[in-house]
Every structure is written in structure tokens, then in C-alpha cells.
């Protein structure tokens, strides 16, 4: 048994005139190793008004993205023993706050949807599935593992300043995922739609995105590859 101190951002727009931080000292069992477990204990035993999202608790659904001591991550993957106390918990930055640690993801998903996140291929359907070689499939590794948690986009200063114009690293990673997919026939259209001073080119290669991704993906690399493709088709 041990105790840990937390300071958590609280804001209920229906009852609070402004946000504030609330402190908790939480008793944890030895087997309580992850931050999400501590959050669930706080809600279950200390304060049932605390609001946060979570679902899978396995790093798969991407719903429990949170800012912990100034750094974005998934609560279910964060080891409590590595966190400096008091652990300061805030909503991921740059998106409107709905309540406590819950943000409005509409803008994030609008940007994701705008890159047409599906294979475009108007050719007649083959008798069986559209095939892809193992080598072509290899190019999608390090891209398709994205769980759309938004840790990267909400750590990106360019996305904070222009969330409606700059696509952000997550949507750009997915844009590259479909550009790189040999079954997709819309590469030219996709590059045309990205060729804009904001949508792609607001990325200044600060690398916050790759630094915080809990799945160890590298949106900066994908963004660089899109830029390379734009240059190579222009010459
Ligand atoms: S590398 Fe680009 S997308 Fe990633 S955090 Fe920096 S500006 Fe944002
Ligand atoms: S690239 Fe990583 S941080 Fe960004 S949304 Fe995908 S999984 Fe989350
Ligand atoms: S609860 Fe699903 S990723 Fe953490």
C-alpha cells in the first residue's frame, strides 16, 4: 500500500465560473501500476464528480489521452512510479474543454475526415480482393498503428494556433497512409489538396508529435515524405 498526490484540472461549465485544480491524496495497492487505475480509484472512492474518458485500458482505443506533468500521453500506459508528485493532470491542450479532463475532439476529427481516410479506387472490382505485395504493405508499417488519440496534434504548436487550417500531425500521418497505399488511385488528388500554405506547410518540423506518440509513430517522417513527393512531382 502507498499514497500518491495528484493535482487535477477541474471545470464544470454548468457550475464553475472558472477552472481550478483540486488536490487528491490517493491510497494505491502495489498492483496499481498505471495512471488510469489511479484515476479510476479517485472517481470510485474519492470524488465521483471527476470526469475523464477511457475505454480499453490497453492502449488501443486512444480515448484517455491526457496531459501529465506537462506532457501528453495515454493514462492507461503511463507508469505511476515514473511520475513526479504531485502529479499534475490537465486536459490535452488546444481543444475546447467540455468538462474536467474531457475535451471536444470535433476539430481533430474534422481534420482527420478531411483527408478522405479511405482507399479511393474507382476501377472495376476484381473477382477477389485487391492484392498488395508484402513490400508495398511494408510501407504502411509505422503508419497504420495510429489510434487517433490526438496526443500528437494537441502537442503541436502549429495545431494550437491554426486548428481549423493546419491538418495537424495525426491527420497528415493518415494522409500519408493513403498516399503510400498502392491500392489507392487518388495520390495526385490527395497531393493537390495538401498543397496549401496551411494544411501541410504549417508544419515547422518541431518534432513534438513524434516525441509524445504513445505508439512510437513518427508523423514528422510521414509529413517529410509527403513534402518529398510534392517536390518530386513538381520537377
Ligand atoms: S513536426 Fe510538424 S506536425 Fe509535428 S509537432 Fe512539429 S509542427 Fe507539429
Ligand atoms: S500518431 Fe500517435 S499520438 Fe498521434 S494520434 Fe496517432 S497514435 Fe496518437
Ligand atoms: S483506455 Fe484505451 S487507450 Fe487508454
What confidence tens digit (pLDDT) does each residue in 210-231 have? 999 999 999 999 999 999 999 9
What is the Cα–Cα distance from 92 to 199, expressed in whole angstroms?
A: 21
Ranges for all domains in the chain classified under CATH 1.10.1060.10: 106-234
Ranges for all domains in the chain classified under CATH 3.10.20.30: 2-103
Count of positions (residues) in the chain: 235
Mean pLDDT of the chain: 96
pTM strictly above 0.85? yes
* Range of weakest confidence among 131-135, 151-155, 192-196, 230-234: 230-234
Which superfamily does 106-234 belong to?
A: Alpha-helical ferredoxin (1.10.1060.10)
Which superfamily does 2-103 belong to?
A: Beta-grasp domain (3.10.20.30)
Nearest ligand, measured from the Cα of 170: 2
Q: How far is the CA of 55 from the centre of ligand 3 (A)?
A: 6
What's CA 224's distance to the chain center, in Å?
Answer: 19
What is the Cα–Cα distance from 220 to 226, expressed in whole angstroms?
A: 10
Closest CA to 168 of 213, 230, 119, 233: 213
* pLDDT tens, position by position, 110-123: 999 999 999 999 99
Q: How far is the CA of 90 from the centre of ligand 3 (A)?
A: 16
CA dihedral 114, 118, 123, 129 (to 10 degrees): 180
Asked whether 118 and 178 are in contact (CB, 8 A), the reply is yes
Greatest distance between any 2 Cα atoms in the chain: 65
Report the pocket of ligand 2 as residue ranges, CB < 6 Å.
Answer: 146-152, 169-170, 173, 213, 215, 217, 219
Q: How far is the CA of 87 from the centre of ligand 2 (A)?
A: 23
pLDDT at 206: 82
Q: In sequence order, what are the beta bridge partners of 73? A: 66
Q: Is the pLDDT of residue 77 over 90?
A: yes
CB-count burial class (<10 Å; 0-12, 13-18, 19+) for 14? exposed
Amino acid at each position: 500500500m502507498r499514497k500518491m498526490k495528484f493535482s487535477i484540472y477541474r471545470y464544470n461549465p454548468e457550475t464553475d465560473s472558472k477552472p481550478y485544480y483540486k488536490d487528491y491524496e490517493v491510497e494505491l495497492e502495489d498492483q496499481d501500476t498505471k495512471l488510469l487505475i489511479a484515476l479510476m480509484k479517485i472517481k470510485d472512492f474519492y470524488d465521483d464528480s471527476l470526469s475523464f474518458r477511457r475505454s480499453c485500458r490497453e492502449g488501443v482505443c486512444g480515448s484517455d489521452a491526457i496531459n501529465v506533468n506537462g506532457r501528453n500521453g495515454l493514462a492507461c500506459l503511463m507508469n505511476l512510479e515514473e511520475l513526479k508528485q504531485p502529479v499534475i493532470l490537465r486536459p490535452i491542450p488546444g481543444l475546447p474543454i467540455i468538462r474536467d479532463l474531457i475535451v471536444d475532439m470535433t476539430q481533430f476529427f474534422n481534420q482527420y475526415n478531411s483527408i478522405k481516410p479511405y482507399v479511393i479506387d474507382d476501377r472495376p472490382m476484381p473477382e477477389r480482393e485487391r492484392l498488395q505485395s508484402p513490400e508495398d504493405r511494408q510501407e504502411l508499417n509505422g503508419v497504420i498503428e495510429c489510434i487517433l488519440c490526438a496526443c500528437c496534434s494537441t502537442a503541436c504548436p502549429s495545431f494550437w494556433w491554426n486548428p481549423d487550417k493546419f491538418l495537424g500531425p495525426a491527420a497528415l500521418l493518415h494522409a500519408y497512409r493513403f498516399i503510400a497505399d498502392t491500392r489507392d488511385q487518388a495520390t495526385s488528388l490527395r497531393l493537390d489538396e495538401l498543397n496549401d500554405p496551411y494544411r501541410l506547410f504549417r508544419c515547422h518540423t518541431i518534432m513534438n508529435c513524434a516525441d509524445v506518440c504513445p505508439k512510437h509513430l513518427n508523423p514528422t517522417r510521414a509529413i517529410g515524405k509527403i513534402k518529398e513527393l510534392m517536390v518530386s512531382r513538381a520537377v
